[in-house]
């Protein structure tokens, strides 16, 4: 029985009910005085409580997919094959579930068990409604294998756009979180599809992934000394893998990252620490400093370099002591109902040029999915205004228009538009 299956949930509920029934039946026999009777009562109460809590935990996990398997729950995670270096397609024209994957590809097809439970996904021809693929991202540097959902917009499959590279938004879950939460409860792909269908967002690839690469440990998007290299995986391995298979933008200006809760903190960390990976971040209810706690363990190691690593992951410290990166970030926090509002205000005040900051500051809201779902459309439209538009892929029969020696469009260059398509959708107001 799988950890997230309904069979497991029903079995745990039945076991909890049986434990309660046995407790009621045995209690008169255990009510007599004596040491063994006292120990029996304690054991009966303990077993009953454990089974009830286990049944409740299985039900919650089945709904929110915090852990996808028994292996993940106990820390037994998949690892990448040794020596994976080959990309699936040199020009990034692949579609993982539509074309047989190449051996050694950094993106491999994955099972659709979680994806099949997500409601509201596009149904119909991919060229009309887009498609969501269930894949595994393989980190060439880190050896990490992480599940992901990839939303490809309808234009990705249309002939008019067949030479276009699309902007990418990476959506990160909180901890322990899962890609199921991003698709089902945050409605990442559904919201993006609706906005793109209304012309309020340019065609964009959405990559839904969890930053918890070594479950059950929370690594907080940190390269742990001697441990999981989460930052390297998300900042280097993930973009490289996606570009190797999909027609995704080459330049960091086409890449943004967003998240909720600890995933929001991660989005800010990735963008401010490495603007060559992501130039735009949207953070829904973030923290601004990474700290050790019982779920993280020691994230920064020991010795003389520890304090430097701690400071490097304190965003307020970075704003006060380091040059501001040339990035754009959006932060969201509710004035009433969330504890991070004062920190968010302090962060906004601390930002200085060339870094830019925008905010979503509703009067009321809680640290939960209903609040983040309300903020999602505004966050995605804001990110749409920051990311570069589809970039021309190297044509086969026509010379490529460039202004830089490396063969990429230079600053201010307008990418070649698909015939009969606008150069950009209707502008949205920056919040």
Mean pLDDT rounded to a whole number for the chain: 83
The answer to whether residue 178 scores a pLDDT higher than 50 is: yes
Is residue 262 a contact partner of residue 270, using CB atoms and an 8 Å limit?
Answer: no
The answer to whether residue 58 scores a pLDDT higher than 70 is: yes
Helices 188-197 & 369-386 angle (0-180, nearest 10): 50
- Residue 388 pLDDT: 86
- Residue 391 pLDDT: 65
Please check whether the domain covering 87-392 is classified as CATH 3.40.50.1820: yes
Sorted by where each begins, the domain ranges of the chain are 6-64, 87-392
312 closest CA partner among 327, 299, 328: 299
Higher pLDDT, 370 or 405: 370
313 closest CA partner among 273, 351, 279, 350: 273
The answer to whether residue 92 scores a pLDDT higher than 80 is: no
Least confident span in 63-67, 267-271, 304-308, 419-423: 419-423
Name the percent of the chain lying above pLDDT 70.
78
Report in angstroms the alpha-carbon separations of 266 from 94, 103, 189, 214, 322.
28, 31, 20, 15, 19
pLDDT band at 29 (very low <50, low <70, confident <90, very high): confident
Higher pLDDT, 397 or 123: 123
Q: Output the DSSP codes for 113-180.
A: TTGGG-SS---S-HHHH-EEEEEEEE-TTT-BEEEEEEEE-GGGGSGGGTTEEBPEEEEE--SS--HH
pLDDT band at 419 (very low <50, low <70, confident <90, very high): very low
- Residue 3 pLDDT: 65
- Residue 111 pLDDT: 85
Distance between CA atoms of residues 287 and 264, nearest Å: 8
- Residue 113 pLDDT: 77
């Amino acid at each position: 029985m799988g950890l997230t299956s309904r069979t497991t949930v029903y079995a745990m509920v039945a076991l909890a009910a049986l434990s309660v029934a046995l407790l009621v039946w045995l209690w008169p026999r255990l009510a007599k005085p004596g040491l063994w009777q006292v120990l029996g009562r304690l054991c009966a109460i303990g077993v009953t409580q454990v089974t009830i809590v286990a049944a409740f935990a299985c039900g919650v996990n089945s709904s929110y997919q915090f852990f996808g398997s028994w292996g993940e729950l106990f820390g037994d995670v998949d690892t990448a094959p040794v020596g994976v270096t080959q990309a699936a397609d040199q020009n990034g024209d692949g579609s993982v579930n539509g074309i047989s994957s190449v051996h050694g590809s950094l993106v491999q097809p994955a099972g659709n068990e979680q994806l099949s439970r997500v409601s509201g996904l596009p149904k119909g021809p991919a060229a009309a409604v887009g498609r969501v693929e269930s894949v595994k991202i393989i980190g060439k540097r880190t050896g990490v294998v992480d599940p992901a959902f990839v939303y490809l917009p309808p234009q990705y499959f249309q002939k008019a756009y067949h030479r276009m590279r699309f902007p990418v938004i990476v959506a990160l879950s909180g901890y322990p979180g899962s890609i199921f939460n991003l698709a089902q409860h945050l409605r990442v792909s559904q919201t993006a599809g609706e906005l793109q269908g209304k012309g309020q967002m340019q065609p964009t690839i959405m990559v839904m992934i969890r930053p918890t690469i070594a479950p059950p440990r929370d690594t907080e998007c940190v390269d742990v000394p001697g441990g999981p290299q989460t930052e390297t995986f998300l900042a280097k391995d993930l973009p490289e893998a996606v570009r190797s298979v999909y027609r995704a933008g080459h330049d960091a200006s086409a890449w943004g990252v967003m998240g909720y809760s600890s995933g929001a903190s991660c989005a800010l960390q990735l963008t401010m620490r490495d603007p060559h990976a992501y130039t735009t971040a949207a953070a829904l209810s973030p923290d601004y400093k990474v700290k050790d706690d019982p779920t993280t363990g020691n994230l920064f190691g020991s010795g003389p370099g520890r304090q430097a690593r701690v400071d490097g992951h304190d965003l307020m410290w970075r704003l006060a002591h380091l040059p501001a990166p040339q990035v754009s970030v959006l932060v969201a926090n509710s004035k009433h109902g969330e504890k991070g509002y004062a920190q968010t205000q302090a962060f906004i005040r601390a930002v200085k040029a060339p870094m830019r900051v925008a905010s979503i500051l509703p009067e009321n809201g809680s640290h939960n999915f209903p609040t983040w779902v309300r903020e999602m459309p505004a966050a995605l439209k804001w990110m749409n205004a920051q990311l570069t538009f589809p970039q021309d892929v190297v044509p086969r029969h026509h010379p490529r228009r460039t202004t830089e020696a490396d063969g990429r469009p230079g600053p201010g260059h307008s990418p070649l538009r698909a015939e009969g398509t606008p150069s950009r959708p209707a502008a949205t107001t920056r919040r």
